[in-house]
């Protein structure tokens, strides 16, 4: 098992097998649970020789938490449901010898997860969980959502409020508060509809922090000259958007020529800012 840090330095965390009862052949990947431990499986090894389920603490300490009694060959990483339980599948085992679906209850509480963990003020964030019916509030790193809509017991949306910063999303429900398993990461700026749908306010946007974006449903057009600014997009990545205001005359270079984006631009910029 190895890890790579943010500057791409590689280091070994654990060598299988480190002992006579350690797991062997960890073919599946790892999943990070809400307790910040990593969980994985091996195809063989352990006290019974049939493989193990193991955990890895943030400090790198590996612990055998379950030994398979029969050969199952769990070859896929587990996933954590929003009820807190981990689930996985195996290639063999079960009543017919052709595999099972199994669960691992670690006593972790329920949580909410985000369809997308990045966004901007004014955008509708999609939230998945359990027991969302009757929710009375949503916060983004402590700032109350501008509005929210409970669609079903397992799905809701909430409008990211102005002033929110990167941090957890918390949904208040009749049974308690549910915290997101990942932080919602805020992008700078806020798109605005103005100038008849031609404009978007990009004041203060740092181009280096904008993500790659696939441009779609675009209309070729040319806005009035007095309302045009140049924003270079190379390979669908904004290269210079600092200090741009009312920006909607966009040149996309290097992707099939130069294209000027018109009427729907504010929506496109909204997905970036």
The CATH fold assigned to 113-186 is: Immunoglobulin-like (2.60.40)
**237, 210 in Cβ contact below 8 A?**
yes
147 sits in which H/E element: strand 147-152
The pLDDT value given to residue 252 = 35
- Is residue 165 over pLDDT 90? yes
The share of the chain scoring above pLDDT 90, in percent, equals 58
Among residues 250, 251, 248, the alpha carbon closest in space to that of 266 is found at 248
Cβ-based burial of 7 (10 A; exposed 0-12, middle 13-18, buried ≥19): exposed
Q: Hey, where are the domains in the chain?
A: 2-104, 113-186, 195-270
The pLDDT value given to residue 238 = 36
Q: Give 208's DSSP letter.
A: G
Among residues 1, 36, 28, 29, the alpha carbon closest in space to that of 15 is found at 1
- The pLDDT tens digits for 185-217 are 998 765 443 333 333 334 444 444 444 433 333
pTM beyond 0.75: the answer is no
Classify the C-alpha dihedral 261-266-270-272 as positive or negative.
positive
């Amino acid at each position: 098992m190895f890890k790579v840090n943010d500057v791409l330095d590689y280091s070994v965390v654990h060598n299988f097998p480190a002992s006579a009862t350690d797991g062997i052949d960890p073919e599946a990947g790892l999943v990070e649970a809400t307790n910040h431990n990593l969980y994985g499986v091996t195809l063989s090894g352990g006290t019974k020789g049939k493989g193990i389920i193991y955990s890895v603490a943030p400090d790198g300490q590996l612990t055998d938490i379950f030994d398979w009694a029969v050969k199952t060959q769990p070859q896929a990483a587990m996933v954590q449901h929003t009820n807190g339980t981990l689930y996985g599948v195996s290639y063999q085992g079960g009543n017919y010898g052709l595999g099972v679906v199994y669960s691992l209850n670690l006593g972790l509480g329920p949580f909410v997860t985000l369809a997308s963990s990045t966004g901007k003020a004014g955008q509708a964030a999609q939230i998945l969980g359990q027991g969302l019916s009757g929710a009375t509030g949503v916060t983004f790193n402590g700032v109350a959502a501008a509005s929210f809509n409970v669609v079903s017991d397992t799905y809701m949306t909430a409008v990211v409020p102005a002033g929110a910063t990167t941090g957890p999303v918390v949904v208040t429900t009749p049974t308690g508060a549910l915290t997101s398993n990942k932080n919602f990461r805020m992008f700078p700026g806020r798109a605005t509809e103005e100038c008849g749908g031609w404009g978007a306010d990009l004041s203060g946007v740092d181009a280096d922090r904008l993500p790659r974006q696939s441009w779609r449903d675009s209309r070729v057009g040319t806005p009035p000259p007095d309302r045009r600014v140049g924003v270079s997009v190379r390979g669908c990545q904004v290269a210079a958007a600092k200090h741009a205001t009312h920006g909607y005359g966009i040149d996309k270079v290097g992707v099939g020529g130069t294209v000027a984006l018109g009427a729907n631009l504010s929506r496109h910029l909204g997905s970036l800012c």
